[in-house]
Every structure is written in structure tokens, then in C-alpha cells.
Amino acid sequence: MIKSAYIHIPFCEHICHYCDFNKVFLKNQPVDAYLEFMDVEMKNTIDRFPTQHLETIFVGGGTPTALNQKQLSYLLESIQRNFDVVPDIEYTFEANPGDLSLEKLRLLKEGGVNRLSFGVQSFNDDLLKRIGRSHRKTDVFKSIEHAREAGFDNISVDLIYSLPDQTVEDFQDTLHTAFSLGMEHYSAYSLIIEPKTVFYNLMSKGKLPLPTQEEETSMYDVLLNEMEKHGYHQYEISNFAKEGYESKHNLTYWDNESYYGIGAGAHSYTEGVRRANHGPLKKYMDSIRETGFPYKEEHVVTREERIEEEMFLGLRKTQGVSISRFERKFDAEMLNILKGPIEENIQKGLLEQQGDFIRLTKKGKFLGNEVFQAFIGAI
């Protein structure tokens, strides 16, 4: 059963130097037409892949809150029209600090949105400028204050560490400022340099002074210790929450469950098939006009691939992968068909068995990619 929907708004007023998501500058784009075609995609998708009800909706980007009031209202009505937005659903909007007015926040709340995810990244204004962010530290405090005033009591803040010239002390300062906000959820990711980004081009020219591997490891160690000290439990490699505020939407991905992907460049996983939508707006809209769907490619996931995904996605969770759930799902004994990589990584001190779960050790969290790679082609 499909429990989640991801909806992609590709428009941005500024392009961050590290971002490789599907996005375009907002100015002079066919925003209204795009929203109308997305409405058609939602309807056609539900008709083709019906589900009883959704448990999570996540609107990401791009910058969803870059839409004006009228466009935002249309999007919210479109989502409500096509999906069953019940009161207990987890309904998240990504937002940029500084471009989210109190009026927009109230509109989101009235439209059923009950969770916000702010892309803060850092509280160092010099670093924010350097990575191409348009907001500053004071904007974050103002946006959070307005969000609380509008009635939001489930807010997440995204942070990035291992930024150019960033020190361990600077990241620690950012964490202390973040904790002063008292958010319900924090995500913190190490910077990854992706192709076709400003940072990639700078790195190729030797003009991107990044922290050393040892400094990055120290930042992650500080992250784990500070989150625990401040009462946020780690439930995934990069995610921390107060009890009961874990991201149900992201858990859909890590549990390797089915989900809708709506919008240009979005990905979906339904009925054992992974689909990727066209990214360019014209191709996206033309494809819907011609066929009713925007699919660029479709891949039927083999049993072996599903097992690989079950492991390298599920091991991101601190709880790990349930042995009994695995066996029900695949009618096979995990500790038998994956004996080699499991035993090898247990011997290395990177994996451990805790009751019904195989999970990363603390050492394994620092070397997660090495562990995940061990399950590729293991069957």
C-alpha cells in the first residue's frame, strides 16, 4: 500500500552553490502552468495507482515557499483535491528562512500543513553568504517566531557541516544556536560535492578549501554528543528528534516502502517499479500533455535489488533492519543469504545484532557507506 507522496516545486529565487536538485530560477518561469500540469499528474497517478489513504505528504524543492499567495493557495487546494488530507497526516513543507511571511504561514496551516522543514544550514553569516544562501541568522529567528505564531508545533531545521573553511568550533557554535531554538527535529548532513554545481566547478579548479577528513569526522562526533546531551535521540544517521517527532515521511524511504513522486524530476516507487519524471519543465509538461504521465524512465526492481535496498536503506536507521520483517518480506533468512557481508562487518566492528535487528555500531555510523557497499551484489 502506498503511504506517502513527495511533491516537487523546482522554483528558486537563488541557487545555492552546493545544490544539485532539479531547480530553476523562479523569474519568468511558467509557474501557473506547471502547477496545473502537476494537478493533472496527481489525478492520473491516483487513478492508475490507487491507495486507501496517505500517512505523509512532503512538499520539497526547489523552494515551495517561493510561490506567491495565489499560487500557494492553488497548490494546497490541488493537493487536498487529489489526496485525502486527514487531520492526523504528517504534512510537511520545506521553507527558506526569510522568504516566508506570516500570511503564507497562516495559509499553509489553514491548508492542512502541520510540519515545516527550514533549510538553515548554518548560523554563521559569512558561511551562509559563501555557500550561496540568501538568508542570514536573524532571518531564522524571525521565521521560527512567525511559524510558532501561526500555530506550527512540529518544526525541523536542516544543517550542513564540513563546509568550506568551516572549523569544528564553528560547527559547535551553530549547534548551540540551533538548540536555543528548541526545535522538535534536526537534520545534519555532511557536505557532498555534486557535479554541475558551483562548488564542483570550484573544487575542480582547486579553489574550494574543504575541512580534512579528520575534521569532518570530529564534526560528526560533536554532532552525536551534542544531540544526545540536549535530549534529541538519533533515529537515522543524519536525523535527530524529540520523542514522537521523527520524520514519518523519510522513514518511508528508509523502510523501503512505496511512495508517489509528483512534479518535475521527482522519483516514485509503486508496484515494484521505480520511475523518474522528466526534469526540464517543458519536457515534463509536454509528456503529461501527450501521455498523461511525465515518466522519463521506468525500472522494474528485481528481488536481488529489493534486498540490497532493504539493507542499505534500512541500516541508515539506528534501529537497523528487522530480521523477522526481512524474512516475512522476502521469504528468506537474512542471516543465511547475507551471511558473508553481515559476518564480515560484525568482525570489523561496524555491525552488530541487537535482538531482532542488525544495525550499525557507533564505529559503523562513521563508515556507513563502506557497510552499505558490502551489500551491493552480495546475492
> Which residues 6+ apart lie within 8 Å of 266 measured at CB?
6, 7, 8, 276, 277
The pTM is what?
0.95
Residue 87: its pLDDT value, please? Answer: 83
Given 228, 253, 278, which residue is the final one in a domain? 253
Residue 148: its pLDDT value, please? Answer: 97
Q: Is residue 363 part of a domain?
A: yes
Q: Is 175 helix (H, G, I), strand (E, B) or coil?
A: helix
Domain count, the chain: 2
Residue 193: its pLDDT value, please? Answer: 87
66: DSSP letter: G
The answer to whether 92 and 113 are in contact (CB under 8 A) is yes
Given 206, 223, 253, which residue is the final one in a domain? 253
- The answer on 340 and 244 residing in a single domain is no
The answer to whether 265 and 278 are in contact (CB under 8 A) is yes
- The answer on 222 and 104 residing in a single domain is yes
- The answer on 323 and 191 residing in a single domain is no
Strands 239-241 and 233-236: antiparallel
The answer to whether 132 and 15 are in contact (CB under 8 A) is yes
- The answer on 336 and 226 residing in a single domain is no
**Domain hosting residue 166, numbered range:** 4-253
The answer to whether 173 and 124 are in contact (CB under 8 A) is yes
Q: Is residue 132 part of a domain?
A: yes
In terms of phi and psi (left: phi > 0; alpha: psi -120 to 50; beta: otherwise), the region of 58 is: beta
Burial (CB count <10 Å: 0-12, 13-18, 19+), residue 20? middle
Backbone angles phi, psi at 268, to 5 degrees: -135, 165
Q: Is residue 343 part of a domain?
A: yes
Residue 20: its pLDDT value, please? Answer: 66
- pLDDT < 70 positions in the chain: 18, 20, 22
Of the candidates 1, 6, 3, which has an alpha carbon nearest to the alpha carbon of residue 275? Answer: 6
The set of cell numbers assigned to 52 is 486507501
